[in-house]
Amino acid sequence: MREMIKMVLVLTMITAVSGGILSVLKTSTEGKIEEQVLKFQKAPAIKEIFNNATNEPLKDRFKLKAEIKGKSQEITFFPGILDNGTKAVAFEAKGGGFGGDVGLMVGIDLGTDKIIKTRVTTHSETPGVGSRAKDDTNFVSQFAGMGLNSNFKVKKDGGDIDAMSGATVTSRGVCLAAAQVQQLYLKLKPQILDEMKKIK
């Protein structure tokens, strides 16, 4: 009996120490991981969307909380003040593709509520098929100029978007991400505008 109690105490101690170490590792690497994702996934998309910004969208970024699929999450917004004076914002949403989530960065003109440009940031789609969403500018350029009252679905589903040939599931994933951007933007626009007042 005494041996069993000793064993339980030892296992409890090992579990507590392991849990503590994992917690410290998670906390210490979280910031570094976020910086790497920002640098290698989001920054290239932001530079393409706001290629004529007079401010620094990455430096001026801000976060707002929103409920996504029943969970409270922080969303990072990248503000852009374009060389013609237009104020815009870009942020990322995700939609389920064939191999997992497809990330879509969407830039929106705050004056007209129209999409400026979109870029796929992340995916785990089949090479040569769904993976084309990242490089197929003809596909993602369809969203440019669309208002946020548009029907972000592929034409096969009654929407406004031509699906990529042979990659309908990935195309649907991108459309789902665009639809999520639509919902979040319309919900958070007053807060976005308040934050934009701080950008010079």
Domains of the chain, by residue range, sit at 46-196
Which residues are 71's β-sheet partners?
A: 68
The region, left, alpha or beta by phi > 0 then psi within -120 to 50, assigned to residue 101 is beta
Q: Indicate the pTM of the whole model.
A: 0.78
User: Residues 132-154: pLDDT tens digits?
Assistant: 666 667 888 899 999 988 999 99
Question: What is the rounded distance in angstroms from the CA atom of residue 173 to the CA atom of residue 102?
Answer: 6
User: Residues 50-61: pLDDT tens digits?
Assistant: 999 999 999 999
User: Residues 3-17: pLDDT tens digits?
Assistant: 777 777 777 777 777
The answer to whether 93 and 106 have CB atoms below 8 angstroms apart is yes
